[in-house]
């Protein structure tokens, strides 16, 4: 809860540009920095969320970005646009976190989405859940090995539920080309899955065998 005089101080500064506010903050104006944080925290957090896909991590990154900007305040020059500088700091921090996390084998959101797409038995025991997760992991591995155009088409079709016309717009190609990509993508995916099965790798592939064979 802000005190009355603090509210007045904040209101005084609402009309200031970012650059004037940060210049004032560098000079010790705490209210100016608070106004800047209030003004930009939402976008900074959303930038991080887009990269990381996790609200809690995005909140962490937003906080880290402002702290880093404050610590580096002497390096900012008034000729540079404040938001360009701040957003770059935030995006770099989010990308660092993202790349560090990719070394971790199980991004929970991807696995959850893939696993949720798999038709599951009404009641699963722990073993079934583990097998389903394993299948989802295997599917993800197979998808990653597809050519980029096939992977993009399949992802948009199955996970974003876009129709062929929409996918053609996104990929800047024709509907016929999208149908061809989907067809070849499914064939390639099926081959990759069969190869993994023959090697005895991973689970039962409930999603791909069912979904691909069903034509969607």
Neighbours of 48 (CB within 10 A): 28
- Classify 195 as helix, strand or coil: helix
- Residue 91 touches other proteins, criterion: CB under 8 A: yes
Residue linked to tokens 């599951």: 120
* Residue 115 or 181 having the CB closest to other proteins: 181
Question: For the window 151-180, what string marks contact with other proteins as x by the rule CB under 8 A?
Answer: xxx-xx---x-----x--xx-x--------
Side-chain-facing half-sphere of 62: CA atoms under 13 Å: 21
User: Is 200 an interacting residue with respect to other proteins (CB under 8 A)?
Assistant: no
Question: Which DSSP letter does residue 78 get?
Answer: T
Smaller CB separation from other proteins, 33 or 203? 33
For tokens 């770059």, the residue is: 88
Touching other proteins, residues 38-67 (CB under 8 A) = 38, 41-43, 45-47, 49-53, 59, 62-63, 66-67
- Residue 83 within binding range of other proteins, rule CB under 8 A: yes
User: Binding string, 96-125, against other proteins, x = CB under 8 A?
Assistant: --x----------x----------------
Q: How many residues does the chain have?
A: 216
Asked if 178 and 171 touch (Cβ cutoff 8 Å), the reply is yes
DSSP for 37-51, please give it. Answer: HHHHHHHHHHHHHHH
Candidate list 13, 18, 24, 33; residue touching other proteins; CB under 8 A? 33
d(C-alpha 209, C-alpha 151), whole Å: 16
- Rounded CA gap, 33 and 44, in Å? 15
Rule CB under 8 A: say whether 192 interacts with other proteins: no
Q: Which is nearer to other proteins, 20 or 91 (CB)?
A: 91
In the structure encoding, which two tokens stand for residue 166, read together?
């929409």
- Interatomic CA distance for residues 119 and 59, integer angstroms: 34
| Of the candidate residues 11, 88, 112, 191, the single one contacting other proteins (CB under 8 A) | 88
Does residue 64 contact residue 47 with C-beta atoms inside 8 Å?
A: no
Smallest gap, in angstroms, from Cβ of residue 125 to other proteins?
32
Sites of contact with other proteins (CB under 8 A): 2-6, 9, 30-31, 33-34, 37-38, 41-43, 45-47, 49-53, 59, 62-63, 66-67, 70-71, 83-84, 87-88, 91-92, 95, 98, 109, 148, 151-153, 155-156, 160, 166, 169-170, 172
């Amino acid at each position: 809860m802000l005190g009355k005089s603090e509210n007045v101080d904040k209101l005084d500064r609402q009309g200031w540009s970012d650059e004037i506010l940060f210049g004032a903050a560098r000079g010790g104006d705490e209210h100016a920095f608070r106004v800047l944080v209030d003004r930009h925290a939402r976008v900074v957090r959303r930038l991080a969320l887009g990269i990381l896909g996790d609200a809690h991590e995005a909140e962490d990154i937003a906080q880290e970005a402002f702290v880093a900007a404050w610590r580096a305040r002497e390096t900012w020059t008034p000729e540079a646009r404040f938001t360009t500088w701040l957003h770059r700091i935030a995006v770099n921090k989010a990308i660092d976190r993202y790349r560090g996390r990719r070394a971790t084998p199980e991004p929970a959101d991807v696995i959850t989405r893939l696993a949720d797409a798999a038709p599951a038995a009404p009641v699963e025991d722990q073993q079934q859940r583990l097998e389903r997760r394993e299948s989802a992991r295997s599917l993800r591995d197979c998808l990653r090995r597809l050519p980029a155009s096939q992977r993009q088409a399949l992802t948009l079709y199955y996970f974003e539920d876009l129709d062929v016309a929409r996918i053609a717009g996104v990929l800047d190609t024709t509907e016929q080309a999208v149908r061809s990509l989907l067809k070849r993508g499914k064939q390639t995916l099926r081959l990759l899955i069969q190869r993994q099965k023959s090697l005895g790798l991973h689970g039962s592939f409930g999603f791909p065998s069912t979904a691909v064979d069903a034509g969607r």
